[in-house]
Structure 1
Protein backbone atom coordinates (compact mmCIF):
# COMPACT_ATOMS: atom_id res chain seq x y z
CA UNK A 1 0.00 0.00 0.00
CA UNK A 2 2.83 2.40 0.85
CA UNK A 3 4.45 1.72 -2.54
CA UNK A 4 1.21 2.58 -4.32
CA UNK A 5 0.96 5.88 -2.41
CA UNK A 6 4.50 6.76 -3.57
CA UNK A 7 4.01 5.52 -7.12
CA UNK A 8 0.81 7.48 -7.81
CA UNK A 9 2.29 11.01 -7.27
CA UNK A 10 5.35 10.01 -9.31
CA UNK A 11 3.17 8.91 -12.24
CA UNK A 12 1.04 12.05 -11.91
CA UNK A 13 4.12 14.29 -11.88
CA UNK A 14 5.54 12.48 -14.89
CA UNK A 15 2.26 12.91 -16.74
CA UNK A 16 2.18 16.65 -16.07
CA UNK A 17 5.83 16.99 -17.17
CA UNK A 18 5.10 15.15 -20.42
CA UNK A 19 2.01 17.26 -21.06
CA UNK A 20 3.94 20.46 -20.45
CA UNK A 21 6.66 19.36 -22.85
CA UNK A 22 4.12 18.50 -25.54
CA UNK A 23 2.39 21.86 -25.14
CA UNK A 24 5.72 23.71 -25.29
CA UNK A 25 6.77 21.92 -28.48
CA UNK A 26 3.36 22.46 -30.05
CA UNK A 27 3.42 26.16 -29.17
CA UNK A 28 6.87 26.52 -30.67
CA UNK A 29 5.76 24.86 -33.91
CA UNK A 30 2.69 27.09 -34.14
CA UNK A 31 4.57 30.36 -33.52
CA UNK A 32 7.83 29.55 -35.36
CA UNK A 33 6.55 30.41 -38.82
CA UNK A 34 4.97 33.64 -37.58
CA UNK A 35 8.20 34.67 -35.85
CA UNK A 36 10.28 33.92 -38.94
CA UNK A 37 7.90 35.92 -41.11
CA UNK A 38 8.08 38.88 -38.73
CA UNK A 39 11.88 38.71 -38.74
CA UNK A 40 11.84 38.65 -42.54
CA UNK A 41 9.56 41.70 -42.62
CA UNK A 42 11.78 43.60 -40.16
CA UNK A 43 14.87 42.80 -42.21
CA UNK A 44 13.19 43.98 -45.41
CA UNK A 45 12.24 47.26 -43.76
CA UNK A 46 15.87 47.84 -42.76
CA UNK A 47 17.19 46.89 -46.19
CA UNK A 48 14.77 49.19 -47.99
CA UNK A 49 15.96 52.10 -45.84
CA UNK A 50 19.54 51.74 -47.12
CA UNK A 51 18.97 50.44 -50.67
CA UNK A 52 16.69 52.61 -52.86
CA UNK A 53 14.02 50.63 -54.69
CA UNK A 54 15.00 52.23 -58.01
CA UNK A 55 18.31 50.35 -57.91
CA UNK A 56 16.99 46.79 -58.01
CA UNK A 57 14.21 44.64 -59.42
CA UNK A 58 14.75 41.40 -57.50
CA UNK A 59 13.87 40.05 -54.06
CA UNK A 60 16.63 41.40 -51.80
CA UNK A 61 16.33 38.39 -49.52
CA UNK A 62 16.81 35.88 -52.34
CA UNK A 63 20.23 34.28 -52.82
CA UNK A 64 22.13 36.04 -50.01
CA UNK A 65 25.90 35.68 -50.13
CA UNK A 66 27.96 34.71 -47.10
CA UNK A 67 31.59 35.76 -46.84
CA UNK A 68 34.07 35.50 -43.95
CA UNK A 69 34.92 38.55 -41.89
CA UNK A 70 38.28 39.24 -40.22
CA UNK A 71 36.92 37.91 -36.92
CA UNK A 72 35.76 34.68 -38.57
CA UNK A 73 32.03 35.38 -38.26
CA UNK A 74 30.27 35.02 -41.64
CA UNK A 75 28.82 38.21 -43.11
CA UNK A 76 25.48 37.81 -44.89
CA UNK A 77 25.26 40.11 -47.90
CA UNK A 78 21.95 41.00 -49.56
CA UNK A 79 22.31 42.16 -53.14
CA UNK A 80 20.10 44.18 -55.45
CA UNK A 81 20.10 43.11 -59.11
CA UNK A 82 19.29 45.25 -62.11
CA UNK A 83 19.84 44.27 -65.76
CA UNK A 84 21.46 41.02 -64.56
CA UNK A 85 24.16 42.90 -62.64
CA UNK A 86 24.67 43.61 -58.95
CA UNK A 87 23.66 47.25 -58.57
CA UNK A 88 23.52 47.54 -54.78
CA UNK A 89 24.23 45.54 -51.67
CA UNK A 90 23.74 45.70 -47.94
CA UNK A 91 25.14 43.94 -44.91
CA UNK A 92 25.50 44.35 -41.18
CA UNK A 93 28.48 46.09 -39.59
CA UNK A 94 29.17 46.66 -35.91
CA UNK A 95 31.53 48.23 -33.41
CA UNK A 96 31.82 48.61 -29.66
CA UNK A 97 30.15 51.76 -28.38
CA UNK A 98 30.07 53.33 -24.93
CA UNK A 99 27.52 50.92 -23.45
CA UNK A 100 27.83 47.89 -25.72
CA UNK A 101 27.79 46.74 -29.31
CA UNK A 102 26.30 49.03 -31.95
CA UNK A 103 24.83 47.12 -34.90
CA UNK A 104 24.21 48.89 -38.21
CA UNK A 105 22.97 48.00 -41.68
CA UNK A 106 25.15 49.49 -44.43
CA UNK A 107 23.95 49.94 -48.01
CA UNK A 108 26.39 50.47 -50.89
CA UNK A 109 26.17 50.85 -54.64
CA UNK A 110 28.30 48.80 -57.04
CA UNK A 111 31.17 51.29 -56.80
CA UNK A 112 31.36 51.13 -53.00
CA UNK A 113 29.58 54.43 -52.38
CA UNK A 114 27.36 54.62 -49.30
CA UNK A 115 23.67 54.58 -50.13
CA UNK A 116 22.53 54.65 -46.54
CA UNK A 117 23.22 53.58 -42.97
CA UNK A 118 20.71 52.76 -40.24
CA UNK A 119 21.03 51.60 -36.65
CA UNK A 120 19.72 48.10 -35.97
CA UNK A 121 20.42 48.02 -32.24
CA UNK A 122 22.43 49.77 -29.54
CA UNK A 123 22.54 50.41 -25.79
CA UNK A 124 23.92 53.96 -25.82
CA UNK A 125 22.87 56.63 -23.33
CA UNK A 126 19.45 58.18 -24.08
CA UNK A 127 19.77 61.87 -24.88
CA UNK A 128 23.46 61.53 -25.78
CA UNK A 129 24.52 58.48 -27.75
CA UNK A 130 21.11 57.79 -29.22
CA UNK A 131 21.69 60.65 -31.67
CA UNK A 132 22.88 57.95 -34.06
CA UNK A 133 19.20 57.01 -34.56
CA UNK A 134 17.53 58.75 -37.48
CA UNK A 135 14.45 59.30 -35.32
CA UNK A 136 16.55 61.42 -32.95
CA UNK A 137 18.95 63.15 -35.35
CA UNK A 138 19.88 63.33 -39.04
CA UNK A 139 23.57 62.76 -38.17
CA UNK A 140 23.56 59.28 -39.71
CA UNK A 141 22.64 60.79 -43.10
CA UNK A 142 26.04 62.50 -43.33
CA UNK A 143 27.53 59.24 -44.61
CA UNK A 144 25.32 59.11 -47.70
CA UNK A 145 27.34 59.42 -50.90
CA UNK A 146 30.70 58.84 -49.21
CA UNK A 147 33.21 56.08 -49.95
CA UNK A 148 36.56 54.83 -48.72
CA UNK A 149 38.36 57.45 -50.83
CA UNK A 150 35.85 60.23 -50.25
CA UNK A 151 36.90 61.48 -47.78
CA UNK A 152 40.48 60.14 -47.83
CA UNK A 153 41.11 57.20 -45.53
CA UNK A 154 42.89 59.27 -42.87
CA UNK A 155 39.77 61.44 -42.47
CA UNK A 156 37.49 58.55 -41.55
CA UNK A 157 37.58 59.73 -37.94
CA UNK A 158 35.57 62.07 -35.74
CA UNK A 159 36.86 65.65 -35.68
CA UNK A 160 38.25 65.21 -32.18
CA UNK A 161 40.59 62.57 -33.64
CA UNK A 162 41.56 64.75 -36.62
CA UNK A 163 38.90 63.43 -38.97
CA UNK A 164 35.92 64.78 -40.83
CA UNK A 165 32.90 63.65 -38.83
CA UNK A 166 31.09 65.55 -36.09
CA UNK A 167 30.65 64.03 -32.66
CA UNK A 168 27.84 64.70 -30.19
CA UNK A 169 28.29 67.06 -27.29
CA UNK A 170 29.33 64.87 -24.36
CA UNK A 171 29.35 61.67 -26.41
CA UNK A 172 32.39 61.09 -28.59
CA UNK A 173 32.70 57.32 -28.12
CA UNK A 174 29.39 56.54 -29.81
CA UNK A 175 29.94 58.42 -33.10
CA UNK A 176 33.55 57.22 -33.13
CA UNK A 177 32.28 53.63 -33.00
CA UNK A 178 29.82 54.25 -35.85
CA UNK A 179 32.50 55.82 -38.06
CA UNK A 180 34.78 52.84 -37.35
CA UNK A 181 32.04 50.34 -38.17
CA UNK A 182 31.25 52.03 -41.48
CA UNK A 183 34.92 52.34 -42.40
CA UNK A 184 35.39 48.62 -41.71
CA UNK A 185 32.32 47.89 -43.81
CA UNK A 186 33.84 49.82 -46.72
CA UNK A 187 37.11 47.93 -46.29
CA UNK A 188 35.13 44.69 -46.43
CA UNK A 189 33.66 45.76 -49.77
CA UNK A 190 37.09 46.66 -51.10
CA UNK A 191 38.57 43.34 -50.03
CA UNK A 192 35.73 41.23 -51.47
CA UNK A 193 34.62 43.40 -54.37
CA UNK A 194 34.99 40.77 -57.07
CA UNK A 195 32.94 38.16 -55.17
CA UNK A 196 30.33 40.71 -54.12
CA UNK A 197 29.67 41.91 -57.67
CA UNK A 198 29.24 38.48 -59.24
CA UNK A 199 25.50 38.17 -59.92
CA UNK A 200 23.70 35.32 -58.11
CA UNK A 201 23.43 32.24 -60.31
CA UNK A 202 26.68 33.02 -62.16
CA UNK A 203 29.68 30.99 -61.12
CA UNK A 204 32.88 32.90 -60.47
CA UNK A 205 34.79 30.59 -62.82
CA UNK A 206 32.36 31.38 -65.66
CA UNK A 207 32.71 35.11 -65.10
CA UNK A 208 36.49 34.87 -65.06
CA UNK A 209 36.45 32.81 -68.28
CA UNK A 210 34.41 35.42 -70.16
CA UNK A 211 36.45 38.30 -68.80
CA UNK A 212 33.41 40.01 -67.27
CA UNK A 213 34.57 39.86 -63.67
CA UNK A 214 34.91 43.29 -62.06
CA UNK A 215 38.42 44.25 -61.05
CA UNK A 216 39.42 45.05 -57.48
Structure 2
Protein backbone atom coordinates (compact mmCIF):
# COMPACT_ATOMS: atom_id res chain seq x y z
CA UNK A 1 0.00 0.00 0.00
CA UNK A 2 2.84 2.36 0.86
CA UNK A 3 4.47 1.68 -2.48
CA UNK A 4 1.17 2.32 -4.26
CA UNK A 5 0.66 5.59 -2.42
CA UNK A 6 4.19 6.67 -3.24
CA UNK A 7 3.64 5.83 -6.90
CA UNK A 8 0.42 7.84 -6.97
CA UNK A 9 2.20 10.82 -5.41
CA UNK A 10 4.99 10.63 -7.98
CA UNK A 11 2.46 10.47 -10.81
CA UNK A 12 0.53 13.40 -9.37
CA UNK A 13 3.69 15.46 -9.03
CA UNK A 14 4.69 14.53 -12.57
CA UNK A 15 1.30 15.50 -13.96
CA UNK A 16 1.38 18.74 -12.01
CA UNK A 17 4.81 19.66 -13.36
CA UNK A 18 3.69 18.73 -16.89
CA UNK A 19 0.61 20.97 -16.57
CA UNK A 20 2.70 23.88 -15.27
CA UNK A 21 5.28 23.54 -18.06
CA UNK A 22 2.58 23.13 -20.74
CA UNK A 23 0.58 26.09 -19.43
CA UNK A 24 3.67 28.26 -19.30
CA UNK A 25 4.67 27.27 -22.84
CA UNK A 26 1.21 28.08 -24.15
CA UNK A 27 1.17 31.45 -22.37
CA UNK A 28 4.59 32.40 -23.75
CA UNK A 29 3.57 31.28 -27.23
CA UNK A 30 0.38 33.32 -27.07
CA UNK A 31 2.27 36.45 -26.03
CA UNK A 32 4.88 36.01 -28.76
CA UNK A 33 2.19 35.22 -31.34
CA UNK A 34 0.09 38.23 -30.31
CA UNK A 35 3.11 40.50 -30.72
CA UNK A 36 3.84 39.09 -34.18
CA UNK A 37 0.21 39.42 -35.25
CA UNK A 38 0.11 43.02 -34.02
CA UNK A 39 3.34 43.80 -35.86
CA UNK A 40 2.08 42.18 -39.06
CA UNK A 41 -1.21 44.09 -38.81
CA UNK A 42 0.68 47.37 -38.37
CA UNK A 43 2.83 46.61 -41.41
CA UNK A 44 -0.24 45.73 -43.49
CA UNK A 45 -1.93 48.95 -42.39
CA UNK A 46 1.12 51.05 -43.28
CA UNK A 47 1.37 49.35 -46.66
CA UNK A 48 -2.31 50.07 -47.34
CA UNK A 49 -1.92 53.75 -46.38
CA UNK A 50 0.82 54.25 -48.96
CA UNK A 51 -1.13 52.36 -51.60
CA UNK A 52 -4.10 54.70 -51.10
CA UNK A 53 -1.99 57.89 -51.08
CA UNK A 54 1.49 57.19 -52.53
CA UNK A 55 4.51 59.00 -51.13
CA UNK A 56 4.74 60.97 -54.37
CA UNK A 57 1.39 62.58 -53.53
CA UNK A 58 2.35 64.04 -50.14
CA UNK A 59 5.42 65.40 -48.37
CA UNK A 60 4.51 64.81 -44.71
CA UNK A 61 4.93 61.71 -42.55
CA UNK A 62 1.63 59.99 -43.28
CA UNK A 63 2.16 57.38 -40.58
CA UNK A 64 2.41 59.89 -37.72
CA UNK A 65 0.24 62.78 -38.97
CA UNK A 66 -3.10 61.79 -37.46
CA UNK A 67 -6.24 63.54 -36.24
CA UNK A 68 -9.25 62.53 -34.16
CA UNK A 69 -12.56 62.65 -36.06
CA UNK A 70 -16.00 62.86 -34.41
CA UNK A 71 -17.64 59.57 -33.43
CA UNK A 72 -20.44 58.54 -35.75
CA UNK A 73 -22.53 55.43 -36.27
CA UNK A 74 -21.85 55.56 -40.03
CA UNK A 75 -18.29 54.48 -39.33
CA UNK A 76 -19.61 51.86 -36.88
CA UNK A 77 -17.69 53.43 -34.05
CA UNK A 78 -19.04 54.84 -30.82
CA UNK A 79 -15.75 56.60 -30.15
CA UNK A 80 -13.70 59.27 -31.94
CA UNK A 81 -11.90 57.85 -34.96
CA UNK A 82 -8.18 58.26 -35.64
CA UNK A 83 -7.57 59.19 -39.28
CA UNK A 84 -4.37 59.80 -41.24
CA UNK A 85 -3.73 63.10 -43.04
CA UNK A 86 -1.79 63.63 -46.26
CA UNK A 87 -0.32 67.09 -46.74
CA UNK A 88 1.70 68.91 -49.35
CA UNK A 89 3.56 72.10 -48.40
CA UNK A 90 1.66 72.07 -45.11
CA UNK A 91 -1.78 71.99 -46.73
CA UNK A 92 -4.01 68.92 -46.26
CA UNK A 93 -4.73 67.13 -49.52
CA UNK A 94 -6.35 63.92 -48.34
CA UNK A 95 -7.66 61.95 -45.41
CA UNK A 96 -7.66 58.19 -44.78
CA UNK A 97 -10.39 56.91 -42.48
CA UNK A 98 -10.74 53.48 -40.86
CA UNK A 99 -14.17 52.05 -41.66
CA UNK A 100 -15.93 48.84 -40.61
CA UNK A 101 -18.40 46.93 -42.78
CA UNK A 102 -20.36 45.05 -40.07
CA UNK A 103 -22.37 42.88 -42.42
CA UNK A 104 -19.77 40.77 -44.19
CA UNK A 105 -20.62 37.11 -44.77
CA UNK A 106 -18.35 36.00 -41.91
CA UNK A 107 -18.33 39.12 -39.75
CA UNK A 108 -16.71 42.55 -39.75
CA UNK A 109 -14.65 43.70 -42.72
CA UNK A 110 -12.12 46.39 -41.80
CA UNK A 111 -11.30 48.99 -44.44
CA UNK A 112 -9.28 52.11 -45.02
CA UNK A 113 -11.01 54.73 -47.19
CA UNK A 114 -9.03 57.65 -48.56
CA UNK A 115 -10.78 60.82 -49.76
CA UNK A 116 -9.64 64.22 -50.94
CA UNK A 117 -11.10 67.37 -49.43
CA UNK A 118 -13.83 67.44 -52.08
CA UNK A 119 -15.12 64.03 -51.04
CA UNK A 120 -13.70 62.06 -53.97
CA UNK A 121 -12.27 58.63 -53.21
CA UNK A 122 -8.50 58.34 -53.52
CA UNK A 123 -8.50 54.63 -52.80
CA UNK A 124 -9.92 51.84 -50.65
CA UNK A 125 -8.13 48.89 -49.08
CA UNK A 126 -9.23 45.96 -46.92
CA UNK A 127 -7.03 45.54 -43.85
CA UNK A 128 -8.68 42.50 -42.22
CA UNK A 129 -11.62 40.16 -42.77
CA UNK A 130 -12.80 36.57 -42.34
CA UNK A 131 -14.57 36.13 -45.66
CA UNK A 132 -14.63 32.78 -47.44
CA UNK A 133 -11.35 31.93 -49.23
CA UNK A 134 -11.84 31.75 -52.99
CA UNK A 135 -15.14 33.64 -52.81
CA UNK A 136 -15.53 36.70 -50.58
CA UNK A 137 -11.79 37.18 -50.13
CA UNK A 138 -11.60 38.69 -53.61
CA UNK A 139 -12.14 42.03 -51.89
CA UNK A 140 -8.36 41.86 -51.27
CA UNK A 141 -5.98 43.39 -53.82
CA UNK A 142 -3.85 40.24 -53.87
CA UNK A 143 -6.88 38.23 -55.02
CA UNK A 144 -8.45 40.66 -57.55
CA UNK A 145 -8.52 44.28 -58.77
CA UNK A 146 -12.13 44.72 -57.65
CA UNK A 147 -11.36 47.16 -54.82
CA UNK A 148 -9.82 49.60 -57.33
CA UNK A 149 -13.29 50.23 -58.78
CA UNK A 150 -13.92 52.76 -55.98
CA UNK A 151 -11.11 55.11 -56.98
CA UNK A 152 -12.46 58.40 -58.32
CA UNK A 153 -16.00 57.73 -57.05
CA UNK A 154 -18.01 60.15 -54.93
CA UNK A 155 -21.52 60.44 -53.51
CA UNK A 156 -22.76 61.71 -56.87
CA UNK A 157 -20.76 59.19 -58.89
CA UNK A 158 -22.72 56.98 -59.07
CA UNK A 159 -26.06 58.36 -57.92
CA UNK A 160 -27.15 57.15 -54.44
CA UNK A 161 -29.45 54.33 -55.55
CA UNK A 162 -26.67 52.89 -57.72
CA UNK A 163 -24.28 52.46 -54.79
CA UNK A 164 -24.80 48.71 -54.74
CA UNK A 165 -23.72 45.59 -56.56
CA UNK A 166 -25.14 44.95 -60.02
CA UNK A 167 -27.32 42.12 -58.70
CA UNK A 168 -29.18 44.74 -56.66
CA UNK A 169 -29.33 47.41 -59.36
CA UNK A 170 -25.99 49.03 -58.64
CA UNK A 171 -22.85 49.65 -60.67
CA UNK A 172 -20.33 47.54 -58.75
CA UNK A 173 -19.52 43.97 -59.73
CA UNK A 174 -20.31 41.11 -57.40
CA UNK A 175 -18.33 37.87 -57.32
CA UNK A 176 -19.50 34.59 -58.78
CA UNK A 177 -21.00 32.71 -55.84
CA UNK A 178 -20.49 35.63 -53.45
CA UNK A 179 -22.63 38.74 -53.25
CA UNK A 180 -22.61 39.58 -49.55
CA UNK A 181 -18.92 40.48 -49.20
CA UNK A 182 -18.70 43.02 -52.05
CA UNK A 183 -22.10 44.48 -51.17
CA UNK A 184 -21.02 45.00 -47.56
CA UNK A 185 -17.90 46.83 -48.72
CA UNK A 186 -19.84 49.00 -51.17
CA UNK A 187 -22.30 50.12 -48.50
CA UNK A 188 -19.54 50.78 -45.97
CA UNK A 189 -17.63 52.94 -48.46
CA UNK A 190 -20.81 54.87 -49.28
CA UNK A 191 -21.44 55.46 -45.57
CA UNK A 192 -17.90 56.78 -45.16
CA UNK A 193 -18.54 59.34 -47.91
CA UNK A 194 -21.80 60.36 -46.25
CA UNK A 195 -19.94 60.73 -42.95
CA UNK A 196 -17.31 62.90 -44.64
CA UNK A 197 -19.93 65.17 -46.18
CA UNK A 198 -21.93 65.45 -42.96
CA UNK A 199 -18.78 66.41 -41.02
CA UNK A 200 -16.96 68.31 -43.75
CA UNK A 201 -16.97 71.59 -41.83
CA UNK A 202 -15.76 69.92 -38.62
CA UNK A 203 -13.09 68.01 -40.51
CA UNK A 204 -11.78 71.15 -42.19
CA UNK A 205 -11.60 72.84 -38.79
CA UNK A 206 -9.68 69.86 -37.40
CA UNK A 207 -7.29 70.02 -40.36
CA UNK A 208 -7.03 73.82 -40.04
CA UNK A 209 -8.28 74.13 -43.61
CA UNK A 210 -10.63 77.00 -44.60
CA UNK A 211 -14.14 75.78 -45.34
CA UNK A 212 -15.48 75.87 -48.88
CA UNK A 213 -19.15 76.10 -49.90
CA UNK A 214 -20.93 72.75 -50.04
CA UNK A 215 -21.60 71.93 -53.67
CA UNK A 216 -24.52 69.58 -53.14
CA UNK A 217 -26.82 69.07 -50.15
CA UNK A 218 -27.32 65.59 -48.76
CA UNK A 219 -30.19 63.77 -50.40
CA UNK A 220 -32.71 61.72 -48.35
CA UNK A 221 -31.17 58.54 -49.79
CA UNK A 222 -27.70 59.58 -48.68
CA UNK A 223 -28.91 60.54 -45.22
CA UNK A 224 -30.60 57.15 -44.86
CA UNK A 225 -27.39 55.45 -45.89
CA UNK A 226 -29.32 52.83 -47.88
CA UNK A 227 -28.81 50.03 -45.34
CA UNK A 228 -28.68 46.81 -47.40
CA UNK A 229 -30.77 43.77 -46.71
CA UNK A 230 -29.06 40.58 -45.59
CA UNK A 231 -28.92 38.01 -48.35
CA UNK A 232 -26.89 34.83 -48.62
CA UNK A 233 -25.55 34.10 -52.07
Scaled by the length of structure 1, the TM-score of the pair is: 0.74
User: Could you tell me whether the CA contact under 8 Å between 1:194 and 1:215 is conserved in 2?
Assistant: no
2:87 to 69, 78, 81: 81
User: Which residue in 2 is equivalent to 1:13?
Assistant: none
Give the whole-Å Cα distance in 2 for the aligned partners of 1:163 and 1:194.
30
CA 1:142–1:121: 2 relative to 1, 3 Å? same
1:153 to 150, 160, 168: 160
Give the whole-Å Cα distance in 2 for the aligned partners of 1:109 and 1:50.
11
Structure 2 residues not aligned, in runs of 5+: 1-19, 21-26, 215-233
SS in 1 for 2:177: coil
User: Could you tell me whether the CA contact under 8 Å between 1:106 and 1:185 is conserved in 2?
Assistant: yes
Q: Is the aligned partner of 1:134 residue 2:136?
A: no
Scaled by the length of structure 2, the TM-score of the pair is: 0.69
Moved more, 50-59 or 112-121: 50-59
User: Which residue in 1 is equivalent to 2:72?
Assistant: 69
CA 1:52–1:196: 2 relative to 1, 3 Å? farther
User: Could you tell me whether the CA contact under 8 Å between 1:102 and 1:121 is conserved in 2?
Assistant: yes
2:190 to 183, 198, 213: 183
User: Could you tell me whether the CA contact under 8 Å between 1:86 and 1:199 is conserved in 2?
Assistant: no
Give the whole-Å Cα distance in 2 for the aligned partners of 1:190 and 1:180.
15
| Structure 1 residue 178, shift from structure 2 partner | 0.5
| Structure 1 residue 91, shift from structure 2 partner | 1.2
CA 1:161–1:91: 2 relative to 1, 3 Å? same
Q: Is the aligned partner of 1:117 residue 2:132?
A: no
RMSD, aligned α-carbons = 2.9
| Structure 1 residue 111, shift from structure 2 partner | 1.3
User: Could you tell me whether the CA contact under 8 Å between 1:115 and 1:145 is conserved in 2?
Assistant: yes
